[in-house]
Amino acid sequence: MFRNEALKVIKNAISDRGILASAENRDNYARVWSRDSMMTGITGILIEDEMIVDGLKKSIQTLADYQADNGQIPSNVYGEKASYGTLVGRTDATIWWIIGACEYIIYSKDETLKEDLKDQIYLAFSCLKSWEFNQRGLLYSPLGGNWADEYVTSGYVLYDNVLRYWALKNAAEVYEDDQLKSLAEATKKLIEDNFRKNNADGAKYHKTAYLKANVKPYFWASLNANGYDERFDLAGNALAVLLGFDLDMDAFIDFLKELNDEFNHWMLPVFYPVIFPEDSDWKLLENNYSYDFKNNPYQFHNGGSWPIYLGWLCVGLKKRGHQEIPSKILKQYEALLTEKGDSFREYYSTDQLIPSGTDQLCFSASGYLLMTVLP
């Protein structure tokens, strides 16, 4: 229903340097962001849109031009400047770049780019390895170190580690590298053994915290030295579902239905439960922002609903044979786009379903297109 409008938003944001986060020149969105351009570009691959795929290639090359000496890929590039993060660095930028580069190479069969990028991809993996800090296999992210840059998760974060698995898996395929394949399998097992209750005999990062953690129908959001953050991270879980992680899908589906019952709509929150001023985690939220405070309850990362990650959830659920919830999410989003006269705003508040944030966002346009991808 809104396919042409979504495509227009994305194509208006394609520049000679790559795919901008938004064509709207607000804050820092008119830049080539690693995570935004890679997700949008991969969406282009899934729907086989060559203009978007070409924008992905340009984004990959632009970001590669500014790779740091340690292998880190910029969070974003604007003009001749690159940013690797402001308050802290962005862990996921480097990982998304590897994923996007490999997805492009697999799709395009571009042997020249494959060889040109090989050293840079392996250097990026070396950077990620150094971010383990303890050489035990899981990536460590600082507070605010990924897409949820004004939120409270930190440490061994589900989302970042699932992404690392995807990057390892892709690069192992592209470069026919058995060592990377083995690392991918080991990373997947570490996540499955440490981010949910199970009977596996695999190594536990934090045995005391693991024993105290509660059974949940999803993978926990993060693990830190002070224990588990057991909240629901929709992005991390959506990607885990997409990538075939071992999860009780019946229990997971039931949980999503419970969220629907609680909020009375299918624009599910990206993190749950919501943090309120009287909660202890509020102290981690209230000063963590660059421009203005956005994380009021039900807003932004704090329980807001992001179409981009609902899109990934839909692709993952359909890939695993679950059609009902993706259909309901798409129907709900299309109703809101109609009712609100929305032009792919960044997120929705989950208490009143008010569209908020930057307009004409490739993230949200991509989310819509992902919701429509056939299994």
- 336-357: pLDDT as tens digits: 999 988 789 999 999 999 999 9
In a 3-state reduction of DSSP, which class is residue 279?
coil
Instruction: Enumerate residues 6+ apart whose C-beta is below 8 A from 121.
Output: 98, 101, 102, 171, 175
CATH 1.50.10.10 fits 1-129, yes or no: yes
> What is the residue whose two structure tokens read 């290639």?
57
What are the strands, taking DSSP E only, across 67-216? 76-78, 81-83, 156-157
pLDDT digits (tens, 9 = 90+) for 12-31: 999 999 999 998 877 788 99
pLDDT score, position 342: 78
Give the pLDDT of residue 341.
80
Full-model pTM: 0.98
pLDDT score of 242: 98
Residue 137 and residue 124: Cα distance in Å, rounded? Answer: 16
Strands 76-78 and 355-356, how do they pair? unpaired
Terminal alpha carbon distance of the chain: 18
Domain ranges across the chain:
1-129, 131-247, 248-375
Q: What is the pLDDT of residue 25?
A: 76
Which residues in the chain land under pLDDT 50? none
Q: Nearest-CA neighbor of 59 among 83, 86, 85, 39?
A: 39
